[in-house]
A and B are shown apart, each in its own frame.
Chain A
């Protein structure tokens, strides 16, 4: 079946760039998403990319898609303490449902 994998933890210093990586198995995925989840809060859609694109930039966020390797990454420039959260990669499967990774916890060091 379809699978999405992410590294579980990432630790960066405040002001540095964070890069969160994701791999997926379903080559027919048309949309790929990044969501942010803060403690006690719901899932916030950060950005998404269509499969015919290889890059999308939105303010401090840059999404890179390598469709050949089925690899998606999210880069957060100038990481701030407010960026501490769990980041989920999700890909759209059949019937528009989302298939999710287990989440990557971003820890910010002062």
Chain B
């Protein structure tokens, strides 16, 4: 078991550009979560999948954000028309049931 992986680890982009992040969960974990973490804060929930179904989206998630998990395995998180306020660490976690295991995160910097 190789753990949760995320790609890329770092992304620098200019305001207004679109970015896409990928998360590969631990195999056979049916739940997958996306969180966002800013400096000095705990993670904030963004969205959650059970298999391929997106079951909940936070009110924090504006319509510029979209997430998919097309085959119930890896997931992508896309941010359109990035803003400087989107700069943060984007964390993915997978879960078999009651525990969540996190990947290393993707650090996004919007210039």
Interface residues of B in 89-105 (CB under 8 A from A): 91, 93, 95, 98-105
* A43:B43 contact, CB within 8 angstroms: yes
How many angstroms from the CA of A88 to the CA of B102 in the assembled complex?
13
> From B89, which residue of chain A is reached at the shortest CB distance?
A42
Residue A4 lies at the interface, judged by CB distance under 8 Å to chain B: yes
Number of interface residues of B (CB under 8 A): 23
Residue B65 lies at the interface, judged by CB distance under 8 Å to chain A: no
Residue A106 lies at the interface, judged by CB distance under 8 Å to chain B: no
Task: Give the Cβ gap from A26 to chain B, nearest Cβ, in Å.
Answer: 14
Q: If the complex has contacts A48-B99, A96-B95, A103-B42, are A42 and B48 also in contact, measured as CB distance less than 8 A?
A: no
What does the 1/0 interface line of A68-110 toward B look like (CB < 8 Å)? Answer: 0000000000000000000010101101111111110000000
Within 8 Å CB of A96, what residues of B?
Answer: 31, 33, 48, 95
How many angstroms from the CA of A4 to the CA of B91 in the assembled complex?
19
What does the 1/0 interface line of B33-44 toward A look like (CB < 8 Å)? Answer: 101000011111
What does the 1/0 interface line of A3-47 toward B look like (CB < 8 Å)? Answer: 010000000000000000000000000010101000001111100
* B40:A42 contact, CB within 8 angstroms: no
* B102:A97 contact, CB within 8 angstroms: no
Partner of A31 from B48, B56, B98, B104 at Cβ < 8 Å? B98
Within 8 Å CB of A88, what residues of B?
Answer: 42-43
Within 8 Å CB of B105, what residues of A?
Answer: 42
Given contacts A41-B104, A48-B98, 6 further A-B contacts (CB under 8 A): A4-B42, A33-B100, A42-B102, A43-B93, A88-B43, A99-B45
Across chains A and B, which 9 residue pairs bring their CB atoms closest together, nearest first?
A: A100-B42, A43-B102, A97-B45, A42-B104, A95-B56, A42-B102, A100-B43, A102-B42, A88-B42
Q: Which residues of B contact A (CB under 8 A)?
A: 31, 33, 35, 40-45, 48, 55-56, 91, 93, 95, 98-105
Q: Which residues of A contact B (CB under 8 A)?
A: 4, 31, 33, 35, 41-45, 48, 88, 90, 92-93, 95-103
